[in-house]
Chain A
Amino acid sequence: MFSIKPIFAGILLALIIVGYSPVQGRPEGARATLSGYLRDITNGEPLPFANVRIMGTPIGASTNMSGYYAIPDVPLGNYTVRFSLIGYKDFTRDLSVDSLRDFPLNVDLVPKAIVVSEVVVSAEKIAEEKNIQTSRIVVQAKDLALMPAVGETDVFRALQLLPGVKAASDISSGLYVRGGGPDQNLILLDGTVLYNPSHLFGFFSTFNNDAVKDIELFKGGFPAEYGGRLSAVLNVTNKDGDRVSTHGKGSISLISSRLTGEGPLGNGSWFLSGRRTYFDRLVALMGLDKGKDPLPLYYFYDANGKVNQNIGDNDRISFVGYIGQDNLDFNQTDNQINVNLAWGNTTGAIKYTHIFTPTLFSNFVVTASAFKTGLTADFSGSSAQFENRVSDYSIKGDIDYYAANEHFIKTGFWWSQYRFGVVRKFGGVTYYDIVFRPALVSVYAQDDWSIDERWSMQGGLRFEYQDASKVMKLGPRFSARYNMTDAITLKAAAGVYYQYLNLVSNEAFSFFDMWVPIDKKMETPRSEDVVLGIETHPSPEYDLNVEGYYKTYANIAEFKQEATRAVEINELFDIGKGRAYGVELFLQKKMGDLTGYIGYSLAWTYRNFEAINKGNDYQPKYDRRHDVSLVASYKLGEKWKIGLIYTYATGQTYTQAVGRYLLSTRERQNDEILAGERYNRRLEPYYRMDVSITKHTSLWGVNGNWYIQVFNIFNHRNVWFKEINTGENPALITDVRLLPVIPTFGVDFEF
């Protein structure tokens, strides 16, 4: 196996030795620093990922997640500073730097409707929009709203259309990123970890599109500030709330209703958004929850809230909360059966932002995240209880240091205390009541080094210590960018990543998810990746990106169904390794009446476990050789929009049934299937087309949109899995198919 660790160590050492020379020897305070916040003028929302550029110089910066930027070491002179972000009108400001002092400059950008006639994009502007990270995609919530969906626009379903991100099925919102499983993704909501980001047994994600502001996805090569997972990082930021005016919006669809309110509060803002499904109410209204064959009553709800307050110019505090709950009740009075399934996440965070100096920006966050899944059942006095709990209490801090124009240093820490609990009871007997309480401490440092106008690099190190396994790990990260021309950029990234949790789960059904920490008898799961990419801008309207990656996995775990007296955690799992590689293409049209993208990935994923498939390699279900997505939105005049999604993918792998045999216990007859080589067959190719039509309308002074969405318009029932019925003789093999055509409609309104 290749090892990139020594290469990293050398590069990082070079960065540290060479990197700080421009800063050293400068008299303290002998600098002019331009700094401030970028906000949306209409609502005061901070604007992350925006660009600030001093024209005519190579000097510039990007805003961080809080919308803050700083440009140190600005020489004396007269300049024009330009602030830009896609979706907003550029803002320029003349600035006379006549002394070596701080120049605070907060800027409010004006959103614009993007039309072709407004497209005037210079090569210089394209260059400044480039980010050093590879495999990073930023999606704004307003872009998601145009995508067709089944009833609800969903963040995860939108991400599943990106090259390199795959789904297990139509009814699963799990993300399989570059050969990794859903448990290998770090999912953050406003900086707090979410452990089960799904509703309706995995059909929807927990993210309410009305509350989401930005989504940042790292498919690989992620920087040192993130860790604890092997495959990907999904960083979801909710809206802060409107600092200018109070208003709200709502939505009614066949599945759920949503309501959102926001407005100014003191020296800041508030934001509150919630949604609830009403399948249970409809069933109860029609009386279908009673009788001999009652339907279950199911609903889910979630709510997001945020309050922000500025305390002077340099301090800001935010209170963030999320609660989401799924609930299913099944009551059959004839047999006195009552079953309740309930699961959900609750998170809370207090975030404190302090600007020590214009070049020293900090965020400190105290977070709590809890995920609980529970089943209680009563069969006329025979009671059963099943409960899984994950609690995560964390303190973390991040410091951004704008050391020089050439160096942006970021460092931080993250301490987490976990509690994993599993309870199983039947009758009065407790079968399991297990609690694990591991802690994880992480410290990182990274440096963005702009070497010259063409070259820039980022080196980082992440140190992690988990007390249950008593292991200390060092994860080096590296990325580089080379601007070959104004329109062509080459990128590279590599990293080593560790994970300290394993998930016991069923890919078809996310309810019984159970997280288990690694212990000292287990080797730490580890992955290494190398990514190479080309970003091009063939024309101002188009981006074309191509990336290739190679990723290895070691010490990854697969839950053992046959685990018996598992008194040790390591006995629950088979341990193996894996590798994944592929090429991804992403052609995006960002401007004009027609916008959208084509994504294509050519990928291979392998797993190897000594105890599985006789120790031979196999390709897991989510290994899809070809995966093509077309996402388009067409603006038809001022009022109409048409959305279209088309996806095609190589069929999933499955294990073929080659034979059967009879094998009984003392208590019952049993007919078993003889499996062939694991996952060596493929289902038929998957394809689906969804369309949506949206009409903007205004009624009694209320603005809104009517929409009709048709999921799977060709009614092509893709195959989910092969079912083998041994009740028939010979055994009958049938295809179990996924969802048919599903039309839905609804209305959004603003007030």
Chain B
Amino acid sequence: MNSDRQLKSAINGLCFAVLFAAMAISGCSEPSYPSEYSNQVVVQGYLMAYQPIDSIVVRRTGRIDEYITGSSLAIRGARVIVSGNGIADTLKEMTGFPGYYTSVRTPQNIIQAKTTYTLYVRVPDGRIVTAQTTVPDTFHIIDKDKFPRVIHYRKGLYSIDWTSSNTYSDYITSVTSVDLSVENPIPNNFGDNETKPNRTSYGFNYVEKTHAEIPWFTFNYYGETALSVVAVDENYYSFIRQLEGGSTDIREIKYNVNGGLGVFGSGALDSLHIVLQP
């Protein structure tokens, strides 16, 4: 019995010793090893079927405590090439728009549907970023000509149908107020009258659908308005999809870009214009 007690004390002592030794070894506060910020190249480009290249934007990332603007992050002097359909188009930096690179608009440089394009960017310090996109096929909004030109605003749904893009089946809709000459925001639109609403708002994602009910609250202004449908490629769709949703974590977006960050996507667009009146 006496030996049992001794053994019991020994075991208890051992338990405490092991635990407190472990606590001491591991420390009471967790060491946090710093993440080193490293500047990365960010590219942004959207090719639209049967349109010239609008622009490819080349920027860098900024530190979290840095005051940033589009100009301050712009990377100038980059070599930017978009190649596809047998043509390698070397883009030129736009005057007055640092970091924006655009094509010399010739008929040969019109983006072709169902064609794969490669982006090559070499920035002055030697870093290279590449990405690839395949442009969706075109489609058209059904009965566009029969759509009433003038629509009186009401709270409800606006239906729109389109034909299928043969290559891709993901679509987004957008509503853009194109009459910038007048400030005529729609009042009581979700109660947001204190801040200036966006000129463009986009609707929901439509996977394998060719019909949308555009809700009234995506219209922010009276006047000339474009209703657009874009068939988007995987890169474009993935990016938009990742912008959705909320979390207490930082959103860590995954890109289909080698050597940097950003989106090199493509789409095919059709739109109709209406005049929205009270």
Residues on A facing B (Cβ under 8 Å): 292, 332, 334-336, 379-382, 426-429, 431, 484-488, 506-508, 534, 536, 538, 544, 546, 561-565, 583, 585, 600, 602, 611, 625-626, 650-651, 654-668, 670, 672-678, 680-682, 685, 720-721, 724, 729-731, 733, 736
Contact of B62 among A292, A661, A665 (CB under 8 A): A661
Asked whether B87 is an interface residue with its Cβ less than 8 Å from the other chain, the reply is no
B3 to A, closest residue via Cβ:
A485
Closest 6 CB pairs of A and B: A427-B213, A676-B35, A380-B155, A382-B215, A721-B248, A381-B156
Interface pair B29/A650, CB less than 8 Å apart: yes
Contact for B262 among A561, A663, A685, CB less than 8 A: A663
Most chain-A Cβ atoms within 10 A of its Cβ — which of B26, B30, B230?
B30
Return the contact of B254 from the options A562, A654, A663, A680 (Cβ within 8 A).
Answer: A562
The 12 sampled A-B contact pairs (Cβ below 8 Å) are: A379-B155, A380-B155, A381-B157, A426-B215, A429-B212, A431-B209, A484-B7, A564-B234, A565-B234, A659-B63, A665-B236, A674-B61
- Inter-chain contact B23/A731, CB cutoff 8 Å: no
Q: A380-B155, A602-B26 are in contact. Are A667 and B250 (CB under 8 A)?
A: no
Question: Is B258 on the interface with A (CB-CB < 8 A)?
Answer: no
The residues of A that contact B73 with a CB separation of less than 8 Å are 661-662
Is B64's CB under 8 angstroms from A674's CB? Answer: yes
- The answer to whether B65 touches A429 (Cβ under 8 A) is no
Q: Which residues of B contact A562 (CB under 8 A)?
A: 238, 241-242, 253-254
Kindly list chain A residues whose C-beta atoms are within 8 Å of the C-beta of B189. Answer: 335
Cβ-based interface call for B166 (8 A): no
In Å, the complex CA distance between A382 and B214 comes to 8
Q: How many A-B residue pairs have CB under 8 A?
A: 218
CA distance A506 to B251 in the complex (A): 13
Across the interface, B32 reaches (CB within 8 A) one of A538, A602, A626, A681, namely A681
Are B19 and A682 in touch, CB under 8 angstroms? Answer: no
In the assembled complex, the CB of A556 is this many whole angstroms from the nearest CB of chain B, namely 18
CB of B50 closer than 8 Å to a CB of A: no
Nearest residue, chain A, Cβ from B208: A565
- Whether the Cβ atoms of B213 and A382 lie closer than 8 Å is yes
**Contacts beyond the supplied A431-B206, A546-B19, A663-B262: 20 A-B pairs with Cβ under 8 Å:** A379-B155, A382-B215, A426-B204, A562-B238, A562-B241, A564-B241, A650-B29, A658-B64, A659-B64, A660-B66, A661-B59, A661-B62, A661-B73, A662-B42, A664-B44, A665-B46, A670-B243, A677-B35, A730-B64, A730-B65
A499 to chain B, nearest CB (A): 23
- Tell me the nearest residue of chain A to B248, going by C-beta: A721
- What's the nearest-Cβ distance from chain A to residue B4, in Å? 4
B9's closest neighbor in chain A, by CB? A538
- The chain A residue with its CB closest to the CB of B25 is A602
Collect the chain B residues with CB atoms within 8 Å of residue A585's CB: 15, 19
The answer to whether A733 touches B170 (Cβ under 8 A) is no
Contacts of B59 in A (CB 8 A): 661-662
> Would you call A666 and B209 a contact (CB within 8 A)?
no
Choose among A600, A663, A721 the residue that contacts B261 (Cβ–Cβ < 8 A). Answer: A663
Query: Which residues of chain A are within 8 angstroms of B36 by Cβ–Cβ distance?
Result: 658
- Chain B positions within 8 Å of A, measured between CB atoms, are 4, 7-8, 11-12, 15, 18-19, 22-23, 26, 28-30, 32-33, 35-37, 39-40, 42, 44, 46, 59-68, 70, 73, 155-157, 169-170, 172, 174, 188-191, 198, 200-202, 204, 206-209, 211-213, 215-217, 230, 234, 236-243, 245-254, 261-263, 267
Interface centre among B212, B252, B253 (most CB of A within 10 A): B252
Task: Point out the residues of chain B lying under 8 angstroms from A379, CB to CB.
Answer: 155, 215-217
| B242 & A561 in contact (Cβ 8 Å cutoff) | yes
Choose among A382, A484, A600 the residue that contacts B19 (Cβ–Cβ < 8 A): A600
Q: Give the complex CA separation of A680 and B31 in angstroms.
A: 10
A334 and B15 form a contact (CB under 8 A)? no
- A379 vs chain B, min Cβ distance (A): 6
Of B22, B60, B239, B249, which is within 8 A of A665 by CB? B239
CB contact between B217 and one of A382, A561, A563, A720 (< 8 Å): that residue: A382
- A172 to B: closest C-beta gap in Å: 11
Specify the chain A residue showing the minimal Cβ separation from B263.
A663
Q: With A382-B217, A674-B64 as given contacts, are A536 and B15 in contact (CB-CB < 8 Å)? A: yes
Residue of B nearest to A507 (CB): B248
In the complex, residue of chain B having the shortest beta-carbon distance to the beta carbon of A653: B30
Query: A677 — which chain B residues lie within 8 A by C-beta?
Result: 35
A503 to chain B, nearest CB (A): 15
Contact partners of A487 in chain B: CB under 8 A? 4, 8
Look across to chain A and name the residue whose beta carbon is closest to the beta carbon of B43. A663
Known: A602-B19, A658-B37. A731 touches B64 (CB 8 A): yes
B250 partner, pick from A508, A655, A664, beta carbons under 8 A: A655
Q: Which of A486, A546, A685 contacts B29 (CB 8 A)?
A: A685
Q: Which residues of A contact B169 (CB under 8 A)?
A: 565
State whether B156 touches A382 (Cβ < 8 A).
yes
Q: For the complex, what is the distance from the CA of A544 to the CA of B12, rounded to whole Å?
A: 8
Question: Chain A residues with Cβ under 8 A from B243's Cβ?
Answer: 665, 670
Contacts of B204 in A (CB 8 A): 426, 431
Expressed in whole angstroms, the minimum distance between the Cβ of A534 and any Cβ of chain B is: 6
Evaluate contact between A625 and B26: CB separation under 8 angstroms. Answer: yes
Instruction: Give B234 Cβ to nearest chain A Cβ, in Å.
Output: 6
Which single residue of chain B is at the shortest CB-CB distance from A669?
B198
By the criterion CB–CB under 8 Å, are B245 and A561 in contact? yes
- Contact residues in A for B63 (Cβ distance below 8 Å): 658-659
